[in-house]
Amino acid sequence: MPNEDKLKAGHKKTEAGKRLSKLMINDYTRLHQKAKEGAFVVWIAIVVPAELFSGFENVVYGVPESHAAMSAGKGVGPLQCEKAEAMGYSMDLCSYARIDLGTAFDGGKDSPTFGLPKPHLLISDNNNCSLLVKWFDIYHRAWDVPHFILDIPFCYEQQTARDLNYISSQYRDLIRTIETLSGQKFNIDRVREALEHTKGALTNWKRFLKTAVSRPAGLTVFDSFVQMAPFLTSRGTKALAEHYRLLADETEENVAKGIFPVPNEKYRLLWDNIAPWHQLNKMSSRLASLNANLIAASYTYCMGSLEGEFDLYPYDGGDPLTYLARIQNFSICPHGLELRYQAMQRAIETLGIDGVIFASNRSCKVYSLMQMDMLKRVTERLGIPSVMIDVDHADIRKYSEESVFTRIEALLEVIDAKRGAQTPRKNSNPI
């Protein structure tokens, strides 16, 4: 059994963590309050460019996926899933969807945020996940709420000008739709202003992630998992930009002071998939007890980057719709294998990754289905030991801690063996 001191290491509540809680509480409180006061409410998929809503006087948005992740993190995932399953929704469906359906059709009961206020408009997209469209269709039918679908071509290679124009034309349709439904006028200058905040937020987000370069790393990936939440709920706000600035400052200061989340870091690992929301504390503590630190994740390093890239693609002050269309595919799921590999290779080389954990996620096929070939490629081309584990991002009933850690421990042994083969035995600890 790992000793107690080591179990306490890993993901800890920092000052930034405390600020995050306040920010999230404010976001949800404000959402409910504004909705109650008559704001136009939209529900969006996570990669719908929320800066667009800043262009309206009184439009607020809820993000069902983000709410589902929070529900899973707070331990009510299975409860909400079971409600959806009782309504006939298959257990093989994405657990985010089941949590959301269970929450929404039970009036927000058992939700950490009392659910989301009912929408006037649903906006899905099919680049991150086509299933979002089917999921939102359920509310569209049940509540007779209009459903706007953003149709975004998948990227096997970098986005073409034709696709960019097609996407930005759909933003114009969306703006017209909201104007018509809400009776509010759209102001592009407000979006420009929001994008400046986004630029600030993402610049500091990348600065925060860069603290993983230090040895030991200045963060664990669990920090980045939880800290990405307000990017989904407060995108384009000054509060978010300020929060990420303080987060990056604090993390850099900790590195300077020699304060590290895993002080005896021996294994620097990369995570590929959505966070296992129900396991954040447990997994980070147990990894820390093994002197292993997950220091990066494809799920979080993609924020602010173009497809296949690792660095920030900042807003340049130009046409807001063009920038948003270009960055529309920032998340991993709309990327082909070659692009995913390119970005992961950059991450591995930049951060000095020792091993990769491919989390095969039953609830997210679109993220997971390339992983077997990615694993092969990373192992063979880059010589980085890798392992595949089975998870479900929000349904703990489909997760087995012991079988996962058996595989992770095997990965650490392979890393040791590789080091042993590369260096004399007496220098077996290179970190």
Partner 1 sequence: MRITAVQIAPDITLKLCPFSTKLSVLNYLDRSPAGTDDDCRVNNRYNMKNINNDMKDNKAKGRKVIGCFPLYPPLELFHSLGLVPVTLWGLKDSIPTTGKSDRHLQPYTCSVARHLTEFLLSENGAALDGLFMYNACDTLRNLPEIINCGLADTGRSLPIFKIHIPMVPREQTESRAYLRARIKMLIDELEEAYQVTFSIEKFRQSVSLYREMRKLCKALETLVANGRMSYNEFSRIIRDGWFIPAEDQLLVLQKILQDRPLSKREHVPSAVQSRIVVSGILPPPLHMIQAFENAGLTFVGNDIASQNRALFYTPAMVDDPADYYVDFYNHHYPCTTLLYTADRRMAAIRELILSTRAQGVVFIGEKFCEFEYFEIPHLEKTLKDMGVPTLFLEVSIDDNEYSEAYVTRIETFAELIGSANQGGRYAE
Q: Write the DSSP assignment of 366-419 as a string of letters.
A: HHHTTHHHHHHHHHHHH---EEEEEE-SS-GGG--HHHHHHHHHHHHHHHHHHH
Please say which residue, 169 or 403, places its beta carbon nearer to partner 1.
Answer: 169
Shortest distance, position 300 Cβ to partner 1, whole Å: 21
Closest distance to partner 1 from the beta carbon of 291 (Å): 30
For residues 199-215, one letter each, b for 16 or more C-beta atoms within 10 angstroms of the residue's C-beta and e for the rest, the string is bbbbbbbbbbbbbbebe
* Residue number with CB closer to partner 1 (266 or 335): 335
Q: How far is the CB of 46 from partner 1 (least distance, A)?
A: 15
- Three-state DSSP at 48 gives coil
Q: Give the nearest distance from C-beta 185 to partner 1 in angstroms.
A: 21
Least distance in Å: CB of 140 to partner 1?
A: 8
For 358, the 3-state DSSP assignment is strand
CA dihedral 88, 404, 284, 29 (to 10 degrees): -10
- CA 85/CA 407 separation, integer angstroms: 31
- Is the CB of 151 or the CB of 319 nearer to partner 1? 151
Are residues 7 and 285 in contact, defined by beta-carbon separation less than 8 angstroms?
Answer: yes
* Phi, psi dihedrals of residue 160, rounded to the nearest 5°: -90, 165
* Amino acid occupying residue 417: A
Query: Least separation, in Å, of the C-beta of 338 and partner 1?
Result: 6
214 vs 360, beta carbon nearer partner 1 = 360
> Phi/psi of residue 125, each to 5°?
-145, 160
**Measured from the CB atom, is 174 or 384 closer to partner 1?**
174
Q: How far does the chain reach from its first CA to its final CA, in angstroms?
A: 24
CB of 154 to partner 1, least distance (A): 5
- Compare residues 31 and 150 and give the one whose CB is closer to partner 1: 150
Where on the chain is the footprint of partner 1 (CB under 8 A)? 87-90, 92-94, 97, 126, 129-131, 133-135, 137-138, 140-141, 148-149, 151, 153-154, 156, 162-163, 166, 169-170, 173, 177, 336-338, 360, 362, 365-366, 368-373, 376-377
The nearer residue to partner 1, 188 or 372, going by C-beta atoms, is 372
